[in-house]
Amino acid sequence: MSIAAAEASVASPHTPSIQSTSPLTTNTTQSGFAFPTYTSFPPFYTLQPNVTTRAHQLDLWSSLVTTYCAYHRLFRISLSSPPADLFANRSINRSLKPSSIRDVLDHMASPAGGQKIEWLSTTAKGEQKDSCYVLWKSANEWAEEIHAWVDETGQKGTVLTVYELRESDAVSGKDWRDMDEGLLRRVLNVLVKRGKAQIFGQEESAGVKFF
């Protein structure tokens, strides 16, 4: 156990240091993400009928989903094809039912759950929501981060394309690189609302000017 934890901390330098020293850490997967101990607790994969217990359980799930997505830099989860090892633990042969996954995500989307995810609006009416953005950092945090970066690099007043913000070499070390385009637009919209940016053009060729 202690060896595994040590390995985990060595193998995954990205993980927050607190987590690696925490007693909760366990089970490093091939991807390097250290799953917390409670993911090996079989009841974790059954939604609890007791309200209080369920609240605790959902908190744990919320925490797991956000740390997992932060580690893997996932910005979007699709219910039809969720990350294979997130909602299941092969070693104890347990997995969360799809309906329960939806419950967990619903909870995370609610204000009580801290709005850690945001459902994508469906294209057709009556269709069940399938995908969601995972806000392991909230839109405001993202917005501030991007704005700070623009400020630091002295690009205020210049026009940057969305492509540049997502994929250029300049942002290679930044958390938001490869961010889902829809999410990036949402983040930029926050800046627009604050009057710190302006978006030009349509869709693919959109450009952003920061103030």
Partner 1 sequence: MFLRQLDLTTALRPSFFKDETLLFVQAGVGLYEGKYKIPDYQDGSAYLTSHRVCYVANAQPRKFSVAIDLKDIERTEFYAGFLKSSPKITLFPKPPKSTQQAIRNPAPKHALPSDTLISPTRSSPRPLSQSPGPLRDGNATWICPICGLSNGIPANFDPYTANEFTPLLPCQACGIKPSLVHINKAAIAAMSNRSSGAVFGSLGQARGSEIPYGNGLEQGETNSTRRNPCPRCTFKNHRSLHTCEMCGASLTTSSQQQQLMAVERPDSPGPTLDTSIVGNDTIETIKFSFREGGVSTFLDRLKTALVQRKWLLQSAPPVPQPVNSNNGGLLTGSEHPSRSGTPQRVVGIAGLERRGAELRQNNQAVIGTAFEDLEALMTSAKEVIAMAEQFAKQNNTDSGVSPEARDILTDSASALGLVTTRDMLGSGSASETLYITELSRNLAEFLTDDRRGVLRKEGGIMSLVDLWAVFNRLRNGIELISPLDFEKAAIMWDSLNLPIRLRRFKSGLLVVQERSRTDEKTIAALVAWLKQPQNNDWPQATGLSDNQFGRGATAQEAAERFGWSVGVATEELEMAEETGALCRDQCLDGTRFWQNLFATASKEIKSMQTKDEMGFDELKRELPN
The token pair at 180 is: 């889902």
**Shorter beta-carbon distance to partner 1: residue 76 or 174:** 174
Q: How far is the CB of 206 from partner 1 (least distance, A)?
A: 26
Binding site for partner 1 (CB under 8 A): 1, 13-14, 16-19, 22-24, 27, 36-38, 40-46, 48-50, 52-53, 56-57, 59-60, 63, 91-94, 172-173, 175
**Shorter beta-carbon distance to partner 1: residue 22 or 161:** 22
How far is C-alpha 37 from the geometric centre of its chain's CA atoms?
A: 20
Q: How far is the CB of 198 from partner 1 (least distance, A)?
A: 27
**Shorter beta-carbon distance to partner 1: residue 16 or 98:** 16
**Shorter beta-carbon distance to partner 1: residue 1 or 124:** 1
Q: How far is the CB of 59 from partner 1 (least distance, A)?
A: 4
Q: How far is the CB of 139 from partner 1 (least distance, A)?
A: 17
